[in-house]
Structure formats: structure tokens, C-alpha cells
Homo-oligomer: A and B are copies of this chain.
Amino acid sequence: MTVSIKDVAQKAGVSVATVSRVLGSGPVSDALRARVEEAVAATGYRPNLSARRLRSQHSQTIGLIVSDIRNPFFTAVSRAVEDAAFQAGMRVILCNTDENPDREAMYLRLMQEERVTGLIFAPTRATLARLDRAGLDFPVVLIDRSGPSGLYDSVVLDNQQAAAALVGHLHAQGYRRIAGLFGNTSTTAVERHGGYHAAMVAHGLTPDARFVPPYADAAEAEVAGWLADIQNPGAVRPEAVMVSNSLLLMGVVKAVRKHGLSIPGDLALAGFDNEAWTELVGPGLTVIEQPVHEIGAAAMNLLFERLEAPDRPTRKVVLSGTCVVRGSTAPLETFRV
């Protein structure tokens, strides 16, 4: 049915080797080259990539395993990875794990069966802990999350510094009771909590950290609890909250709106990820902007460099975020006297 290199060779009256050389790069006389190209066009021949990969032992494929492509951070990263990959003539296999270690294990197995050239991976804490023992025979670059173990190259945000910057900004704007809201599954949240905690202490403030499952609902419920106390003047309610990711941030905004309260009048907000909508909500939300495209591109670079030099020591690329200040953290005194 489908036309193979042999059919092309026959039609052009040459050997398969010659056809292969025309398609790839080898010495072929102009006359034969023309005949072959004509035969290729006439037959509509397309090389079979499975056969090519099998024979050449190069899959030209890189794996990308993230928790959920619907998370805009990973969407942007994946786009950067795919652009870089296709530019280098490689394909990408994208997998969503939903933070489920079983699925992570299954996809790691898949990566081995695909004989991927390399893998870019945002693992859960659980998988990260036993990644050393997975026996992967291709280079891995971790993104977004990474452990202290220097076994793998990685690209991460400077989470400590970013969280500290948000706390510092809120402090400078006059806020003192600054709560922190964090997801309870990723190492990212752990690091951001670290930065939050250190900065609070450094400013002589009392940390007040809450950990919730990484869903908007959970954040909304948590914050709804605080806000219910608003009628009670005696209650000590946070004046501001630092939120460790955009999904939780969305939940917090929902809770505030549902209670008919105002930002930042009743609660100041600062979060992570400069998604398009953060500019449009209320007075605009102050966020840390991650260099998402750079993170994907840097991961690909690390991967390519490691492929060239497998034995160089591993590196951790730490990129810093930018604090985008908007109305959600307006100075306290401008609206409370």
C-alpha cells in the first residue's frame, strides 16, 4: 500500500542506497539525483520515521512530562520547548501526570521505550526522591521543581528570593499581618514558603502560613474562613496574603468577591505568575512574573549541552522573577487612616 524506498528505487532504476543518499547526504551524480527526485515526487514517497529511527538509533525525540498542560506556566514552557525542539529537527512527546506518582512512573517507562534523546521533567516530590534509582539512560533536565541532589541539570525560579520580594514589597507598603498561602504538593511551594518565612522574620513579623491542596476551591474555602470574621472587630485577620501560585490566587480573588469585599481595602494580594488576566482583575494583581519562555529555552539548552558533553558536572540554572506591582498591593495608608 504505502510506498517505500524500494519502490522509489525501482521507479528511478537505481538502488535503495542511492535513494537514501539523495534524501540524506551522500555523493550522488546530478543525473541520478534528478531521476530519484522525480521518482520521489511521482510516487509521493515519505520516509518511514520508525524505520529510520530504528536503523539510525537516534529517536530525535525528547520527552516533556508536566503535571498539567492546562497550568499556564506549563503551557508556556511547553511551547518554548516545542519551538526549540522542532527547530533542532526533533519531536516532542508531551505527558500530563496530574501530580500522580503512578502516572509519572508509567510515563518514565514510556520514555525509555521510546528511546528518547532526553527528558524535561517537572516531578512531584515523591518521584524526585527516587529518581536516582530509576536507571534512566538518557539525560534529564528538571524544571520548576528540583532537589538539592546534584544528579540532574535543572532550571528553576529563585523562589526564595521571589517570595521574599513579595513580602518585602507588602511590608514596604505598610502591611504587617501578612499571611502566606501555599500548595502542599510541590517543592516549589516549599521553597516559596522558605522565602516567605525568612522575610517575615527578617522584618520582625509573625509568619502565618497555610498549606492547602493545589486547587482554587481549596484556597477559596480557606480564605472564606478568614473573611467570615470580618464582622468581628476583635478578630485578628490578615491584612494581606501572599499566594504561592496562580490557581490559588484565583481562588482567593473569588472568595474576596463572594464576600463583597474589596482589594486591597479588605485584603491586599500578591501572587505568582503574570498571566494576562491578573492585569484585568480588580485594581490589577501584583505578581511575580516568571520568565516562562526562558525557562523552557534554558531547559532545552541544558539538554543539548549535556548531550554534547555527557560528563560535565550538572548545573542548576536559577532564573529570577520580576515583581510586577499593581493595585492589589497599594500602600496601606492611601485608603486607611
Contact = CB atoms under 8 A, between A and B. Distances in A.
Contacts of A253: 280
A279 B257 CA distance: 10
Contact of A49 (B79, B113, B137, B250): B113
Interface string A267-290: 000000001110111100000000
Contact of A76 (B54, B70, B276): B70
A216 B82 CA distance: 23
A92 B82 CA distance: 13
A70 B49 CA distance: 28
Interface string A49-63: 111011000010000
A68 B79 contact: yes
A78 interface: yes
Interface in A113-143: 113-115, 135, 137
B92 A94 contact: yes
Given A50-B115, A53-B50, A216 B2 contact: no
Given A70-B79, A79-B96, A49 B115 contact: yes
Nearest to A71: B75
A225 interface: no
A203 interface: no
Interface in A245-262: 250, 253-254, 257
A70 B75 contact: yes
Given A46-B109, A79-B70, A82-B96, A276 B91 contact: no
Given A47-B113, A48-B115, A82-B94, 19 more contacts: A48-B54, A48-B113, A49-B115, A50-B53, A50-B54, A50-B59, A50-B114, A50-B115, A68-B79, A82-B96, A91-B110, A91-B114, A92-B94, A93-B93, A250-B280, A253-B280, A277-B281, A280-B281, A280-B282
Interface of A: 1-2, 44, 46-51, 53-54, 59, 68-70, 72, 75-76, 78-79, 82-83, 86, 91-96, 109-110, 112-115, 135, 137, 216, 250, 253-254, 257, 275-277, 279-282
21 contacts: A2-B137, A48-B113, A48-B115, A49-B115, A50-B50, A50-B53, A50-B59, A50-B115, A68-B79, A69-B78, A70-B72, A70-B79, A93-B93, A94-B94, A216-B276, A250-B276, A250-B277, A277-B277, A280-B280, A280-B281, A281-B281
